[in-house]
Structure 1
């Protein structure tokens, strides 16, 4: 048993993400104590990768706590929800005032807030730390979004900044705010990721079924796009996946993958949070529902039987490939703008003081949604921290203006051909809704007053009013 504490940090939970994060920490010169509920994983880590750094293997949480210098910092990398609660409940009696517990999983921000408040009563610091980049990012350099107290980040910061990805010498890790700010920002990151992937999938669908490009040819198009303004990790990965051939059948790999996309919940949480905050994240919502629709195989089969599955003969105007590129770019701008709108709204609601420019900075490398235009997002918020919405920043306003005709042609072509493009189309509707001088919401509010006396306001003066619809239709001030 380890008796003298020499580790500077500890980690429990050695599944793929936890193991790779522990290896990354050790590689950066930190002595790390490691533990797993089943000791076989801990033993395998030490046997295979023990040479990469200074690990302290522990067979129990008691040993883990004893191995770490005070104030102790212990990272928890276990299944979100009840699994995390179980580990925390077991850890807390072993810790001392001022120690820090870090949840590095995908936790719901409300759960993080609850845990933070509970541990605070015991004199402990709880950190909700969002980690993006998948298993490769965890090992080679993720993007890290830390929430919690300044005291906690003073101890944790040097470690996370040393293991994070770096862009232009700047670590892609930051203390984004107190409380659940870190997990909230990570949640929205994942929501944007949902929209981004759905947009890419819709674009491929159009390239294939309207432009007639088979997956290998579409792969070449995405690879070309990745050399320009659309450069991003997801575009690069799309080219790689579409170029891959299935070894068993010789068919394009994308054609042998079942067309039912799964989800772990972060997209759904993002949409639910946006509804609570009153922020219209239509791109993220449509992407989340598109995944849900893909999994409803029985309903889909019934619809095919009733209506057939043939596409209409779509009429393509102009250069479809260029139009799809422009539409994809504009709709991606909308998705990121909506995500940042939600971060700003959440920060205001909870008093977190999250800096959107700092968020864009740490998303430039390591994370799944890293993209060239995050530099532009960082510049936009640095120039105007009170920016109303990213869409109106000069660079992005120009992008949308230049893309608008192509965007409309693509949405029309998809509708004519019967090819679903919910995020491309929904994002265009969102854009058009924002810029309309008058929306049909006036009729909705009048109907609400008619059936439920919900009142209305007038455009020609202040006040709130109700019309006596069942009587003489006189107006009275509410």
Structure 2
């Protein structure tokens, strides 16, 4: 099956290569010439523009977007819209907000185009292991794209599925990432407690390896934690600064809108925000208050 891939960053290029290995023809476009050159070396045909990419695909066309969420998706769609024809499909495989996805699907439907959202998980390991795909959109459109999803997934019969109408794929991926925040925070806190128990001299990598087999807390995240601890047991050179890509915030906001209690996901998001405060006014005020009411010593900078 022929496919156009827009966005040849690490994730997009890896997905395109997996499709090529699976026997699909992929024409890719990226505004960066270096990214296009690297794609060609991986068996992906390169187009110099979106117009050239669309012209290289047979009808009905399928264009898969792997571009940053937000304004970039809208600007890419605005450029694509006059180039596509009724019956063509656009897949958004990025981490778009599901409300934006629903708006875009309605817009493209007015032009006779199918808009499919694919919440995509798997990270840098997806090329080898396959991707988890949570798909939203019209049933017929998703079914037509089945060969693509079956190739990208870990196996044709697992790791992917249509979860609902337009927006449902990105909504499910949003919640997936919120859960991920909580799991990561729990592992981080547990290993921090063990690391501070200095009198036991615990080998954290050894413990991670023990837990990986037979334990109820075994998981891929634990596997990755074990790998990280093997390479760098004391995590030297890594700043205690944790980014977030937005899905955790959206999950917490959705929980509030739906009156659903989500304390673990919320706390894990707040911990990420806290990690970025190198000069915490709140902590300084806490120290000042303790001094005021109890005469407790204040540590000077």
What's the TM-score, normalizing by structure 2? Answer: 0.90
Q: Which residue of 2 aligns with 1:390?
A: none
Moved more, 267-276 or 146-155: 146-155
Report what 2:21 is aligned to.
Answer: 27
Conserved in 2, the CA contact under 8 Å of 1:21 and 1:139? no
- Native 8 Å contact 1:56 1:67 kept in 2: no
In structure 1, the partner of 2:32 is: 38
Equivalent residue for 2:248, pick from 250, 267, 278 = 267
Which structure: larger Rg?
Answer: 1
The answer as to 2:2 corresponding to 1:8 is yes
State the match for 2:167 in structure 1: 180
Which residue number corresponds to residue 161 of structure 1? 150
**1:161·1:174 contact (CA, 8 Å) conserved in 2?**
no
Alignment of 1:318-357 (within 5 A): none
1:75 to 49, 64, 71: 64
Report the CA distance between 1:33 and its aligned residue.
1.1
Instruction: State the aligned residue count.
Output: 288
Tell me which residue corresponds to 2:102: 113
Where does 1:220-369 land on structure 2 (aligned, <5 Å)?
A: 220-228=206-214, 229-245=216-232, 252-299=233-280, 302=284, 306=288
Q: d(CA) in 2 for partners of 1:212 and 1:267?
A: 36
* CA deviation map 1:63-110 (0-9, x unaligned): 111111221110011111011111111001100111111111001111
1:56 counterpart = 2:41: no
Q: Give, in angstroms, the shift of residue 196 of structure 1.
A: 0.2
Quote the Cα distance in structure 1 between the aligned partners of 2:227 and 2:278.
Answer: 28
Structure 1, unaligned runs of 5 or more? 1-6, 246-251, 309-478
Q: Deviations over 1:129-180 (max 9, x none)?
A: 11101122145411111111112212212111122113xx732111111110
How far apart, CA to CA, are the structure 2 residues paired with 1:123 and 1:74? 15
Query: Which deviates more, 269-278 or 62-71?
Result: 62-71
- Tell me, in whole angstroms, the C-alpha distance in 2 between the residues paired with 1:209 and 1:303: 26
Structure 1 runs of 4+ with >6 Å offset: none
**Contact 1:73 1:155 (8 Å CA) reproduced:** no
Q: Within the alignment, does 1:194 sit opposite 2:181 as a pair?
A: yes
Secondary structure of 1:10's partner?
A: strand
* Residue 151 in structure 1 maps to residue 143 in structure 2: no
Query: Structure 2 CA distance, aligned partners of 1:33 and 1:240?
Result: 35
- Secondary structure in structure 1 of the residue aligned to 2:150: helix
User: Using the alignment, how far apart are the partners of 1:253 and 1:19 within structure 2?
Assistant: 33
Once the two structures are superposed, what CA deviation does each residue of 1:222-252 show, in whole Å capped at 9, x if it has no partner? 111110122211111111212323xxxxxx4
SS at match of 1:69: coil
The two structures have a TM-score, normalised by structure 1, of 0.57
